[in-house]
Amino acid sequence: MTSVPMTSVRRVMLYVLLGLYGLTVLYPIGLMLISSFKDSREIFTAPFALPQSWNFDNYIEAWTEGNFSSYFLNSVWITGVSVVLVLVIGSLAAYPLGRYAFRGKRFLSLYFLAGLMLPIRLGILPLFFLMRTLGLLNTPFSLIAIYVASGLPFTIFVLSNFFETLPRELEDAARLDGASEFRIYAQVMLPLIRPALATVAIFNFIPWWNDFFFPLIFIRNEAYKTLPLGLFGFFGEHQNDWGLLFSGLTVTTLPLLLVYLFASKQIVKGLTAGALR
Amino acid sequence: MSSPTVPSPRSNRLRRKEVVSAYGFLLPNLIGFAIFTFFPVIAALLISMTDWDLLQAPTWVGLDNYRTLLNDPLFGQVLKNTALYVLGTVPLQMLLALLVALALNQRIPGQLFFRTAYFMPVVASTVAVALVWRWIFNYDFGLLNSFLYMIGIQDPPNWLGSTRWALPSIIIMSVWQQVGYSMVLFLAGLQGVPQQLYEAAEIDGAGSWGRFWYITLPMLSPTTFFILIIGMINSFQVFDQALIMTQGGPANATNTIVYHIYRNAFQFFKMGYASAMAWVLFAIIFVVTLLQFRLQRRWVNYD
């Protein structure tokens, strides 16, 4: 497909189509950004225009009265802690699966792989009950637990493939120096797979930041709500104040869009690492 | 995960040490993973055979919940809605993603820009995006209808407010959000197709359609298969859009299985009944996935 020289007519057509599709994709996102600077009247009278002035009133109101500062911090630390935990726990499992030969290894690999396809939402009722029994309901720990558990299969899958590629000599040399198995893992091997750790971290971060389902069911307390859940409640209260709503939508969406712009390579890598094997 | 199991000069003592530490490393995972993923799915099966409102102790009712499900016309409609959603969303987003990927694969200037833009909806929060689309679809002042008026359509549909258009609206929004994901995978797949194949085909006189049909599509089939499987598993569990854009309405036109489970469990407190639905959905996903793996031998090309 690549070697055929394109005629200029075809080229123009192609760009027109790509541009039209780009517009369809970016328009709703751009609309959200632009409208967040308008008041409701301006949104209805001039929906397609740029705002008359870039005023941050909506943001200030959402951030303070709308409680978005709290939602934002919760999202940051809950997803942050989950990412750190999934890297620590996941790499612990990935290490032997990638490097040791032992009985049961194949079965365990399959066990974790099966988790990749398990529709975890379908266990929501027992999970709800489990969290209630453990006293985790209505605490951020319910979310952290479910995120880490659901992120493990992918994490283990990618990291063990990476561990496998590291040379044997490093490990043997460390053993001769009398290093314990855990020290070999933590001080020799783990630093070597840093790029893979970054890929996995970013790739897990996205769905957890955006998750709405589990907070909706586990979290009632206003103080522990994350952005998507907080946004949902905010929408219920301010149905008609679209300018204010759009600023809330932007606060929820923009951080990830920025992460994406800076780390799109990592994200694409994570995506294809999970798929093309 | 194939492994370099070449324990040649390594001593037995070392091997034993490896086994012990292997399980030491794995233990936290095995326990945590089992408790929070496999256990709940299995436990749902037990709960589905009880009558339970969370307040009183559950009572055993055997298969009653499943029998009730069979005779519940609402559940029938919910199944149908979900099936239509899957059948609408998955093929549409795959087709669009393939077209976009093919266009971008022609090494045109600006490829990176387009790819970055097209992927953006994938990282955007579904709640936020669903709310934006709710506004776009609004009958009175939504952007879509403003646009339709502008090009001369006098009576545009009441998108989210009509039983006929509500589900298609949700499908449109979902396709919009998911195309970027499949596109990136298709692009990676396309870049993995060896260039020599195309050159050889060109020498044999194949046109661009022939090259697409006999080289690109078959070489891409493992990617296509992966996207199909993941897309179906995820689409069967559609929930956020149904809750945020329509609350399952109007008249249950967008009520999906997971939304119905959510309502029965957390609004009507019918835990047993909701669990039975969860298991029906689990069975559907399992059978469909298994079927796909069976059928793939006929069309997926691994070499």
State residue A180's pLDDT score: 86
| % residues pLDDT > 90 (chain A) | 35
Over residues A169-217, the pLDDT tens digits come to 888 888 888 888 888 888 888 998 888 898 899 889 999 999 999 999 9
What do you get for the CA distance between the two ends of chain A, in Å? 24
DSSP string for chain B = -------TT--HHHHHHHHHHHHHHHHHHHHHHIIIIIHHHHHHHHHTTEE--SSSPPEE-TTHHHHHHHT-HHHHHHHHHHHHHHHHHHHHHHHHHHHHHHHHTT--TTHHHHHHHHHHHHHS-HHHHHHHHHHHT-TTT-HHHHHHHHTT-SS---GGGSTTTHHHHHHHHHHHHHHHHHHHHHHHHHHTS-HHHHHHHHHTT--HHHHIIIIIHHHHHHHHHHHHHHHHHHHHT--HHIIIIITT-STTTT--HHHHHHHHHHTS--HHHHHHHHHHHHHHHHHHHHHHHHHHHHH----
Higher pLDDT, A209 or B207: A209
Q: Is the model's pLDDT at B7 over the cut of 50?
A: no
Q: Is the model's pLDDT at B139 over the cut of 50?
A: yes
Higher pLDDT, B194 or B17: B194
Are B275 and A125 within 8 A, CB to CB?
yes
Highest mean pLDDT, choosing among A241-255, B95-109, B251-265: B251-265
Task: Record the pTM.
Answer: 0.90
Q: Which residues pair with B51 in a beta bridge?
A: B59
Q: Please tell me the distance from the alpha carbon of residue A143 to that of residue A77, in angstroms, as a whole number.
A: 11
* Min Cα–Cα distance to chain B from A183, Å: 12
State residue B284's pLDDT score: 94
Using CA atoms of A184, A185, A187, A193 in order, give the dihedral in degrees to the nearest 10: 130
Closest CB from B19, B119, B146 relative to A47: B146
CB within 8 Å: B123 and A252: no
Q: Which residues pair with A84 in a beta bridge?
A: none
Q: Mean pLDDT over residues A83-104, rounded?
A: 89
Taking alpha carbons only, the member of B200, B17, B199, B171 closest to residue B96 is B171
Q: Mean pLDDT over residues B98-124, rounded?
A: 90
State residue B174's pLDDT score: 97
Q: Please tell me the distance from the alpha carbon of residue B217 to that of residue B281, in angstroms, as a whole number.
A: 31
Q: Looking at A47-51, A229-233, B159-163, which range is the least confident one?
A: A47-51
How many CA within 13 A on the CB side of residue A70? 14
CB within 8 Å: B146 and A11: no
Are A275 and B181 within 8 A, CB to CB?
no
Own/partner contacts of B155-163, CB < 8 Å, gap of 24 or more, are B160/B134, B160/B245, B160/B246, B161/B250, B162/B250, B162/B253, B163/B250, B163/B251, B163/B253
Q: Model ipTM?
A: 0.88
CB within 8 Å: B118 and A25: yes
Q: Mean pLDDT over residues A210-231, rounded?
A: 94
State residue A2's pLDDT score: 46
Q: Is the model's pLDDT at B252 over the cut of 80?
A: yes
State residue A5's pLDDT score: 57
pLDDT band at B8 (very low <50, low <70, confident <90, very high): very low
- Please give the distance of CA A113 from its chain centroid, rounded to a whole number: 20
Q: Looking at A98-107, B7-16, B85-94, B201-210, which range is the least confident one?
A: B7-16
Q: Is the model's pLDDT at B6 over the cut of 50?
A: no
Residue B207: list chain A partners with CB under 8 A: none
CB within 8 Å: A228 and B128: yes
Residue A181: list chain B partners with CB under 8 A: 17-18, 21, 24
Q: Is the model's pLDDT at A273 over the cut of 80?
A: no
Q: Is the model's pLDDT at A3 over the cut of 50?
A: no
Q: Is the model's pLDDT at A6 over the cut of 80?
A: no
Q: Looking at A111-115, A226-230, B133-137, which range is the least confident one?
A: A111-115
Q: Is the model's pLDDT at A166 over the cut of 80?
A: yes
Q: Mean pLDDT over residues B254-261, rounded?
A: 95
Q: Is the model's pLDDT at B208 over the cut of 90?
A: no
Closest CB from A3, A29, A149 relative to B198: A3
Residues 96-125 of A with CB under 8 A from B: 96-98, 100-103, 105, 108-109, 112, 115, 117-125
Burial A159-169, CB ≥16 within 10 A → b, else e: bbbbbeeeeee
Closest CB from B17, B44, B102 relative to A122: B44
Using the Cβ of A126 and the Cβ atoms of chain B, whether some distance falls under 8 Å is answered with yes
Average pLDDT, chain A: 87
pLDDT band at A8 (very low <50, low <70, confident <90, very high): confident
Q: Is the model's pLDDT at A44 over the cut of 90?
A: no
pLDDT band at A72 (very low <50, low <70, confident <90, very high): very high
Are A207 and B124 within 8 A, CB to CB?
no
